[in-house]
Amino acid sequence: MKLGTWLSIGSPIIAELAAQSGFDWLLLDLEHGCSTETGILPQLQAIRGTDTAAIVRVGAPYPDLIARVLDWGTHGIMVPHVNSAAEAGQIVKASRYSPDGSRGFSRTVRANDYGLSSIDEVAPPLIMAQIETIEGVNHAAGIAAVDGIDILFVGPSDLQHDLKNRSDLAPGDFDFCISRVAEAAKAAGKATGILVRDIRDTGKYRELGFTYIAVDSDLAILRKSYLGTTKS
């Protein structure tokens, strides 16, 4: 299992501390987090030299944004609301150089140590496609089959919200949907991931085959600690 956590605050100090604490990967959140694009690079610099991988969640699958965070040296990207194989294919295309994609090429970006390393030495980015809607669940098999998609990552809050508000279209309840996603990923030889709020829930998802599990966020951990102090 690869254990991660969400970084929503955008602090390089928190990123550095989290990496030194032994997480396998960290999610730097550009969708709902407080960080701006300019705040991503200092966080990446803060965890350099550790064994912790940095994954940036882009707010939308814009090719220029995907290329920029990859040029900065992130190990991979997470893209929210991936609903079809066609969308997944476009994400992969934006993440790869010609002839497999449309990503712009530069020898002097941080991912190449500003020109000190060969482009051939840079590993392909890890791509996490978030399954957060009924459409995403229904098309999970097709999304997983796309070459270059490495992980189907369930967004539990969005998926539960969608299931609640469009129950007439739901293929089943939340547990049914995450099982369907896990089965689709396994059939395609891909991994699955999910965000949990309680470390005790990791066992349940490991049994379902989930191997990339993020536990809580920096913001939530601080909130709980502050409230625990003021309410005690």
Give the pLDDT confidence score for residue 232 in this predicted structure. 75
- Of 54, 13, 14, 23, nearest to 215 by C-alpha is 23
User: Rounded to whole angstroms, how far apart are CA atoms 170 and 182?
Assistant: 17
Q: Residue 131's beta-bridge partner residues?
A: 154
Place of tokens 């955008």: 10
Tens of pLDDT, residue by residue over 105-122, are: 999 999 999 999 877 666
Give the pLDDT confidence score for residue 57 in this predicted structure. 98
Give the pLDDT confidence score for residue 118 in this predicted structure. 75
The CATH number that applies at residue 8 is 3.20.20.60
Query: What is the average pLDDT across 186-194?
Result: 98
Place of tokens 């987090």: 33
**Residue 110 burial (10 A CB sphere; 0-12, 13-18, 19+):** middle
User: What is the span of the domain harbouring residue 17?
Assistant: 2-230
- The first and second tokens of residue 143, run together, are 């999304």
Domains held by the chain: number? 1
Place of tokens 């882009």: 58
Q: Any catalytic annotation for residue 81?
A: no
Give 123's pLDDT tier (boundaries 50, 70, 90): confident
- Of 152, 155, 164, nearest to 132 by C-alpha is 155
Q: Which of 32, 75, 81, 161 is catalytic?
A: 32
Tens of pLDDT, residue by residue over 64-94, are: 999 999 999 999 999 999 999 999 999 999 9
pTM exceeding the 0.85 threshold for the entire prediction: yes
Query: What is the average pLDDT across 176-196?
Result: 98
Query: What is the average pLDDT across 124-147?
Result: 98
Average pLDDT, the chain: 96
Residue type at 4 in one-letter notation:
G
Cβ neighbours of 143 (radius 10 Å): 28
What SS3 string covers 149-173? Answer: CCEEEECHHHHHHHHHHCHHHCCCC
